[in-house]
DNA sequence: ACTGATGCGTC
DNA sequence: GTCGGAC
DNA sequence: GTCCGACGACGCATCAGT
């Protein structure tokens, strides 16, 4: 059997041939000239017309094998033939003769005759790889002539009403099809520039059209404007006051198309096959197996299998299964499994749980609501623990993870890439609610979860949803590539979810449960539910970074088995911020008192270290492996290859805790420099070489957690430090210097010293303390101070979210530009005000609004705030060209008015000072 | 090839 | 990172 | 004390549209 793979494009490994790949490849077949197929490949197979169109879309040189339709040719020892696909002008299918097997790849295609595309042709083939953009039965297009008639009457009526009809269709293919449809009906088409350009190429290749004109802004009256969809709401169209816009697309059969595209009408004229034609095509080709691609690939494959045709969706996620099936002769995972399983359960051959019609996910959501309803922590814990006890061992880890506001465990690096934007679109799509109604609901809540509830309420037809299915939903959202694919998955789920279920899906997606319960209380609930000591549960969760696995261990009474081990990162110990050296010292004196008043006298001192402005990192090293983890237990090994290289030179197996800083002798590097390396993807050695050269880093170690098989978590900091000092460090590794202190004055002095070293502040640690992962206890403190404060004036206010939904809690503020006298924005903040102050300001701003834009309003600039921050630097975010790091409101300066606020010039001075302190010096480490 | 919007993770 | 609020 | 939630700026990746 021919091997078929999918990796952002179909790949035939045995032939080393790519079919419509997304990325540049050495050797590829390009079915047609739409942009998503255009990449700078080295060598391509194309039809003649596609070659011509490509030339205008992607200039540059490449080797082209231009094949005529219907003739068998040999390219690189490969026998193949192109067949017209009927999709757009020049679009081709690729038919391959591979020994005694044949393969037909359709590319995009349609069966209905088009007026501007060649009529499709086909041959029988053993393997069919087909596009299934419209592979759901609800996509059945009306007869073409009927749609054309509708479009024509739309245009005529619009013109008669004295308005301009605007038809939106892709500039290549769809626009020309529309143009042909208007032939002989007495209308004059006017073409947008990009449409015009493509149409001219069609003509050069022998296609003829009715008379048309090119777009001229002052000549649109009485014409039919044909534009690409991207022109909608563009400058060009906004200049036409009286118009009606229609989208021409297969998606027009969706009842909500008008809202989705923000147009006045939508007509289902498509250059793709509809559902019925997809089915017919399979009948024509009589393949032994089918691979489906694009759109509703999985659903369509499922339908084909129901018809007795072997069919699989070709997507990234099925890759592994396909591979397995070749090797093991096992069946791939069946996307129809849900269906068959329910069928089985009705015959009584399945677990009672499956046949239970009540929705498990709804039960989960209801527990969440009950927890939200009570402010009492103990009551929350009780509700949750009762629920946890009811769950199966399979459900328990999933649910406990959900209750921490996550779809995946903390130590699980997978992300969903589904945010507010995708959620909003899918809620609209699933309910077909109109824009105005949606926005009025959304504006009322400022909470995506609540919005979801109200939007979905009574607009969906709920079906039971099991916990395991919910897990699968999140997993497939993670696997799906691109917002569109994700949106489709989510929309399908919303349309069969109850309002409450949808709300909780959204809560998990956004990571905001907002039920007053998170990891800490979940730990307590697990302890209570399974009668395990709480500290063991906490310990296990710290070590595992996986509340679900912790719960599973608790259920089996095995929590004590969790142990610190190499390559299993643990949460790091955190420090509590304190405002002054005196307040820090007070903490230790108090502890001493409890201890009989003389504890400190008998102890040498407390430990002080500089606080470095970098990224907290945990480095694990064995004899043959090194990994680096971030504060959130994410593997960041790939970002720092030179540290990994150096770490192989340690003599010991160890886990060290420290900070990675941007560092080079004689050069001032900042946190922002470091950030440049952080999000970077780790493919390509060149990239590393360059990144490392740009921003050299150092690892500053300040704690040792594990050494040669021995956990040091339960030894004192003093002991850990002693052990750390004995470790031989490779280059680029340093140990943070510790000094002792015995008074507030010494702390203050060390803090100043740290700042002189250009470090962020000071860490103060109890030398006798154990390492407590994940807690911000009273053993480590940090001392940071603001760089300066600015007096600024509030120029805009926004409604908050969640519990701040009904108050204007978000303030944008400005400084004065002395040269123009104008107010220039410099930052945003709310942090620092009490609820009462926010309430008061809300009232004030409501009465002093200059312009109301819904959730956001510009306000009269008369409230002066004193804003503190840790640094100030150039930025494009705000009009002032400056931005503040960690801005917070120190005070409302009621004694001041707009005229006495600080100036842009002063802010620039601060920024200059901030940047220049450091010119030639580099921060001191040890 | 460029740009803006969105999402994520760092502080 | 920051901060205030609730238990 | 501890946890929770509501917020800041930045840089990079990815996608979708020019």
pLDDT surpasses 70 at A686: no
Give the span between the Cα atoms of A576 and A699, in whole angstroms.
23
Domain end call among A198, A232, A267:
A267
* Residue A111 DSSP symbol: S
Residues 215-254 of A with CB under 7 A from strand D: 228-231, 234
Q: Which residues contact A818 (CB under 8 A, 6 or more apart)?
A: A903, A904, A905
A778: tokens are: 């009273």
Same domain, residue pair A308 and A168? no
Query: Which residue from A484, A701, A669 is spatially nearest to A572, judged by alpha carbons?
Result: A701
For residue A233, what pLDDT band results from cuts at 50, 70 and 90? low
Do the bridges between strand A882-885 and strand A17-19 make them parallel or antiparallel, or are there none, so unpaired?
Answer: unpaired
**What count of other Cβ atoms lies within 10 Å of the Cβ of residue A685?**
9
Do the bridges between strand A576-578 and strand A780-783 make them parallel or antiparallel, or are there none, so unpaired?
Answer: parallel
Question: Does the residue A744 lie in any domain?
Answer: yes
- Is the separation of the CB atoms in A69 and A83 below 8 Å? yes
Mean pLDDT over the full length of chain A: 84
Whole-number distance in Å between A561 CA and D5 C1': 33
Provide the pLDDT for residue A238.
63
Whole-number distance in Å between A128 CA and D7 C1': 54
Residues 836-855 of A with CB under 7 A from strand C: 836
Domain count along chain A: 5
Question: Does the residue A598 lie in any domain?
Answer: no
Residue A575, nucleotide of least CA–C1' distance: C1
pLDDT surpasses 80 at A604: no
Provide the pLDDT for residue A135.
84
Question: Does the residue A553 lie in any domain?
Answer: no
* Residue A611 annotated in active site: yes
Residues A725-754: what's their mean pLDDT? Answer: 94
Output phi, psi for A627, to 5 deg. -135, 150
**In this structure, what is the dihedral angle of CA atoms A711, A712, A713, A716, given to the nearest 10 degrees?**
160
A584: tokens are: 């820090």
Provide the pLDDT for residue A322.
34
Same domain, residue pair A243 and A172? yes
Whole-number distance in Å between A180 CA and B4 C1': 35
3-state secondary structure of A252: helix
Provide the pLDDT for residue A357.
47
Give the span between the Cα atoms of A318 and A325, in whole angstroms.
10
Do the bridges between strand A27-29 and strand A17-19 make them parallel or antiparallel, or are there none, so unpaired?
Answer: parallel
Whole-number distance in Å between A524 CA and D4 C1': 15
- The answer to whether the C-beta of A616 is closer than 7 A to strand C is yes
Give the span between the Cα atoms of A794 and A862, in whole angstroms.
7
Give the span between the Cα atoms of A324 and A495, in whole angstroms.
33
- The answer to whether the C-beta of A217 is closer than 7 A to strand C is no
Question: Does the residue A344 lie in any domain?
Answer: no
Same domain, residue pair A12 and A40? yes
- The answer to whether the C-beta of A630 is closer than 7 A to strand D is no
Considering only CA atoms, which residue is closest to the C1' of nucleotide B5? A421
Residues 479-518 of A with CB under 7 A from strand D: 481-484, 512-518
Provide the pLDDT for residue A232.
64
Give the span between the Cα atoms of A606 and A767, in whole angstroms.
6
Provide the pLDDT for residue A75.
93
Burial A340-360 (b: 16+ CB within 10 A, else e): eeeeebeeeeeeeebeeeebb
- Is the separation of the CB atoms in A434 and A592 below 8 Å? no
3-state secondary structure of A622: coil
For the domain that residue A473 is a member of, what is the CATH number? Answer: 1.10.3260.10
Reported for A78-82, long-range contacts at CB under 8 A and 24+ positions apart, including other chains, are A78/A15, A78/A17, A80/A45, A82/A45, A82/A47
Choice among A328-332, A495-499, A820-824 with the minimum mean pLDDT: A328-332
Tell me the HSE value of A499 on the side-chain side, using a 13 A CA sphere.
Answer: 11
Whole-number distance in Å between A703 CA and D14 C1': 37
Residues A308-314: what's their mean pLDDT? Answer: 86
Considering only CA atoms, which residue is closest to the C1' of nucleotide D14? A482
Same domain, residue pair A773 and A855? no
Give the span between the Cα atoms of A550 and A82, in whole angstroms.
58
Give the pLDDT confidence of A172-210 residue by residue, as tens digits. Answer: 888 888 888 888 888 889 887 778 777 877 887 788 888
Give the span between the Cα atoms of A775 and A757, in whole angstroms.
28
Give the pLDDT confidence of A532-545 residue by residue, as tens digits. Answer: 988 889 888 888 88
For residue A803, what pLDDT band results from cuts at 50, 70 and 90? confident
Q: Which bases of strand C sit closer than 7 A to a protein CB?
A: 1-7
Which residue carries 């209380």 as its tokens? Answer: A521
- Full-model pTM: 0.62
Provide the pLDDT for residue A255.
61
- Is the separation of the CB atoms in A556 and A527 below 8 Å? no
Choice among A430-439, A605-614, A738-747, A816-825 with the minimum mean pLDDT: A430-439
3-state secondary structure of A698: strand
Which residue carries 């209750």 as its tokens? Answer: A403
3-state secondary structure of A65: strand
Give the pLDDT confidence of A511-533 residue by residue, as tens digits. Answer: 888 888 888 889 999 999 999 98
For residue A685, what pLDDT band results from cuts at 50, 70 and 90? very low
Provide the pLDDT for residue A412.
81
Q: What is the Rg, in whole angstroms, of the alpha carbon atoms belonging to chain A?
A: 33
Whole-number distance in Å between A230 CA and D18 C1': 8
Provide the pLDDT for residue A202.
83
Same domain, residue pair A803 and A761? no
pLDDT surpasses 60 at A39: yes
Q: Per DSSP, what are the bridge partners of residue A655? A: A620, A706
Provide the pLDDT for residue A466.
94
**What count of other Cβ atoms lies within 10 Å of the Cβ of residue A401?**
25
For the domain that residue A107 is a member of, what is the CATH number? Answer: 3.60.15.10
* Annotated catalytic residue within A611, A765, A784, A828: A611
pLDDT surpasses 80 at A349: no
A507: tokens are: 């809560």
Q: Which residues contact A429 (CB under 8 A, 6 or more apart)?
A: A254, A256, A260, A487, A491, A494
Provide the pLDDT for residue A715.
95
pLDDT surpasses 90 at A81: yes
Provide the pLDDT for residue A916.
65
For the domain that residue A719 is a member of, what is the CATH number? Answer: 3.30.470.30
For the domain that residue A800 is a member of, what is the CATH number? Answer: 2.40.50.140
Provide the pLDDT for residue A629.
94
Question: Does the residue A545 lie in any domain?
Answer: no
pLDDT surpasses 70 at A343: no
For the domain that residue A176 is a member of, what is the CATH number? Answer: 3.40.50.10890
Give the span between the Cα atoms of A61 and A42, in whole angstroms.
8
- CA torsion through residues A752, A756, A757, A761, sign: positive
Question: Does the residue A737 lie in any domain?
Answer: yes
Considering only CA atoms, which residue is closest to the C1' of nucleotide C2? A886
Same domain, residue pair A514 and A385? yes
Residues 496-525 of A with CB under 7 A from strand C: none
Q: Which bases of strand D sit closer than 7 A to a protein CB?
A: 1-18
- CA torsion through residues A360, A363, A365, A368, sign: negative
Do the bridges between strand A188-191 and strand A223-227 make them parallel or antiparallel, or are there none, so unpaired?
Answer: parallel
Same domain, residue pair A151 and A74? no
Give the span between the Cα atoms of A717 and A704, in whole angstroms.
9
Same domain, residue pair A382 and A502? yes
For residue A348, what pLDDT band results from cuts at 50, 70 and 90? very low
- The answer to whether the C-beta of A835 is closer than 7 A to strand C is yes
For residue A926, what pLDDT band results from cuts at 50, 70 and 90? low
A830: tokens are: 């709310």
pLDDT surpasses 70 at A351: no
Q: Residue A125, class by beta-carbon neighbours within 10 Å (0-12 exposed, 13-18 middle, 19+ buried)?
A: buried
For residue A277, what pLDDT band results from cuts at 50, 70 and 90? very high
- Is the separation of the CB atoms in A294 and A139 below 8 Å? no
Give the span between the Cα atoms of A365 and A453, in whole angstroms.
11
Which residue carries 């941007």 as its tokens? Answer: A662
Same domain, residue pair A845 and A908? yes
Give the span between the Cα atoms of A419 and A33, in whole angstroms.
32
Domain end call among A783, A813, A847:
A783
Range of the domain at A637: 574-590+604-675+693-783
Question: Does the residue A827 lie in any domain?
Answer: yes
Give the pLDDT confidence of A576-594 residue by residue, as tens digits. Answer: 999 899 999 988 886 554 4
Calculate what percentage of chain A has a pLDDT beyond 70.
Answer: 88
- The answer to whether the C-beta of A886 is closer than 7 A to strand D is yes
Same domain, residue pair A262 and A182? yes
3-state secondary structure of A396: helix
Same domain, residue pair A214 and A131? no
Calculate what percentage of chain A has a pLDDT beyond 90.
Answer: 44
The protein residues having a beta carbon less than 7 Å from any atom of strand B are A 35, 40, 413, 415-423, 483, 613-616, 630-632, 634, 636, 671, 675, 678-679, 886
Whole-number distance in Å between A719 CA and B6 C1': 47
Query: Which residue from A824, A822, A802, A821 is spatially nearest to A813, judged by alpha carbons?
Result: A824
Domain end call among A736, A760, A783:
A783
> Cα(first)–Cα(last) distance of chain A, in Å?
64
Provide the pLDDT for residue A350.
29
- Is the separation of the CB atoms in A445 and A805 below 8 Å? yes
Provide the pLDDT for residue A93.
97
Continuous segment of H or E residues that includes residue A226:
strand A223-227
Same domain, residue pair A129 and A216? no
Give the pLDDT confidence of A130-156 residue by residue, as tens digits. Answer: 998 888 777 889 888 889 998 999 999
3-state secondary structure of A42: coil
Residues 376-415 of A with CB under 7 A from strand C: 376-378
Question: Does the residue A326 lie in any domain?
Answer: no
């Amino acid at each position: 059997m021919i091997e078929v793979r999918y990796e952002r494009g179909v790949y035939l490994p045995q032939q080393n041939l790519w079919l419509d790949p997304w990325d540049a490849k050495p050797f590829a077949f390009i079915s047609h000239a739409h942009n998503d197929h255009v990449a700078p490949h080295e060598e391509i197979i194309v039809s003649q017309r596609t070659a011509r169109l490509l030339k205008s879309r992607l200039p540059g040189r490449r080797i082209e094998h231009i094949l005529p339709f219907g003739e068998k040719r040999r390219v690189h020892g490969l026998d193949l033939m192109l067949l017209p696909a009927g999709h757009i002008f020049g679009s081709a299918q690729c038919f391959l003769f591979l020994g005694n097997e044949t393969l037909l790849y359709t590319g995009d295609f349609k069966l209905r005759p088009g007026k501007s595309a060649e009529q499709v042709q086909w041959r029988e083939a053993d393997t069919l790889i087909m596009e299934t953009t419209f592979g759901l039965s609800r996509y059945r297009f009306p007869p073409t002539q009927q749609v054309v008639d509708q479009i024509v009457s739309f245009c005529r009526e619009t013109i008669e009403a004295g308005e301009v009809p605007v038809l939106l269709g892709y500039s290549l293919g769809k626009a020309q099809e529309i143009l042909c449809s208007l032939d002989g009906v007495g209308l004059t088409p006017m073409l947008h520039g990009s449409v015009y350009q493509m149409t001219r190429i069609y003509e050069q290749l022998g296609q003829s059209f009715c008379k048309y004109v090119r777009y001229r802004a002052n000549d649109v009256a009485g014409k039919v404007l044909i534009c690409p969809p991207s022109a909608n709401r563009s400058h060009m169209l906004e200049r036409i006051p009286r118009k009606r816009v229609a989208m021409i697309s297969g998606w027009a059969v969706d009842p909500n198309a008008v809202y989705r595209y923000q147009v006045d009408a939508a007509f289902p004229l498509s250059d793709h096959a509809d559902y019925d034609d997809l089915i017919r095509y399979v009948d024509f080709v009589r393949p032994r197996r089918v691979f489906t691609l694009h759109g509703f690939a999985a659903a369509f494959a499922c339908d084909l299998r129901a018809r007795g045709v072997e069919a699989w969706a070709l997507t990234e996620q099925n890759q592994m299964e396909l591979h397995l099936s070749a090797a093991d002769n096992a069946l791939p995972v069946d996307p129809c499994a849900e269906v068959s399983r329910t069928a089985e359960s009705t015959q009584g051959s399945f677990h009672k749980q499956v046949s239970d019609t009540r929705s498990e996910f709804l039960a989960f959501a209801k527990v969440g609501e009950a927890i939200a309803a009570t402010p009492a922590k103990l009551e929350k814990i009780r509700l949750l623990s009762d629920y946890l006890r009811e769950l199966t061992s399979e459900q328990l880890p999933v649910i406990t993870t959900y209750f921490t506001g996550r779809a995946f465990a903390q130590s699980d690096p997978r992300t969903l890439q589904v945010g507010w934007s995708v959620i909003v679109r899918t809620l609209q799509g699933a309910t077909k609610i109109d824009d105005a109604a949606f926005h009025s609901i959304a504006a009322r809540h400022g909470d995506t979860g609540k919005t979801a509830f109200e939007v979905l309420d009574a607009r969906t037809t709920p079906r039971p949803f099991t916990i395991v299915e919910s897990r699968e939903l999140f997993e497939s959202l993670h696997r799906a590539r691109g917002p569109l694919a994700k949106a489709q998955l989510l929309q399908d789920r919303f349309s069969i979810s109850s309002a409450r279920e949808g709300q909780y899906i959204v809560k998990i997606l956004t990571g905001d449960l907002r039920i007053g319960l998170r990891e800490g209380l979940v730990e307590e609930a697990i302890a209570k539910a399974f009668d395990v000591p709480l500290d063991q549960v906490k310990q296990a969760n710290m070590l595992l970074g996986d509340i679900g696995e912790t719960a599973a261990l608790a259920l089996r009474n095995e929590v004590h088995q969790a142990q610190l081990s190499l390559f299993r990162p643990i949460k790091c110990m955190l420090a509590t911020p304190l405002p002054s050296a005196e307040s820090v010292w007070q903490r230790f004196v108090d502890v001493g008192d409890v201890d009989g008043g003389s504890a400190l006298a008998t102890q040498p001192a407390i430990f002080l270290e500089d606080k470095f402005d970098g990224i907290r990192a945990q480095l694990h090293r064995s004899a043959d492996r090194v990994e680096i983890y971030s504060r959130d237990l994410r593997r960041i090994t790939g970002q720092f290859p030179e540290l990994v290289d150096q770490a192989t030179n340690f003599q010991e197996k160890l886990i060290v805790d420290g900070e990675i800083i941007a560092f080079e002798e004689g050069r001032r590097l900042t946190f922002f420099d470091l950030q440049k390396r952080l999000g970077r993807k780790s493919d390509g050695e060149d990239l590393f070489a360059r990144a490392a050269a740009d921003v050299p880093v150092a690892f500053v170690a300040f704690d040792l957690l594990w050494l040669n098989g021995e956990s040091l978590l339960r030894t004192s900091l003093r002991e850990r430090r002693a052990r750390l000092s004995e470790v031989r460090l490779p280059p680029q590794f340093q140990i943070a210097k510790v000094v002792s202190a015995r008074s507030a004055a010494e702390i203050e002095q060390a803090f100043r010293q740290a700042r002189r070293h250009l470090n962020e502040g000071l860490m103060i640690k109890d030398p006798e303390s154990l390492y407590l992962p994940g807690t911000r206890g009273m053993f480590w403190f940090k001392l940071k101070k603001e760089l300066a404060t600015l007096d600024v004036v509030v120029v805009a206010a926004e409604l908050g979210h969640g519990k701040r939904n009904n108050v204007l809690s978000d303030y944008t503020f400005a400084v004065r530009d002395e040269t123009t006298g104008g107010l220039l924005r410099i930052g945003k903040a709310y942090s620092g005000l009490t609820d009462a102050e926010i309430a008061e300001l809300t009232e004030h701003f409501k009465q002093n609004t200059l312009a109301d834009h819904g959730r956001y309003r510009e306000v009269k600039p008369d409230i002066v705030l004193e804003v503190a921050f840790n640094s100030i630097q150039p930025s494009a975010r705000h009009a002032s060209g400056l931005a503040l790091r960690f801005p917070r409101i120190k005070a409302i300066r009621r004694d001041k008015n707009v005229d006495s606020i600080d100036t842009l010039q002063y802010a620039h001075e601060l920024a200059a000072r901030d940047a220049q302190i450091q010119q030639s010096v580099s921060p001191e480490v040890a």
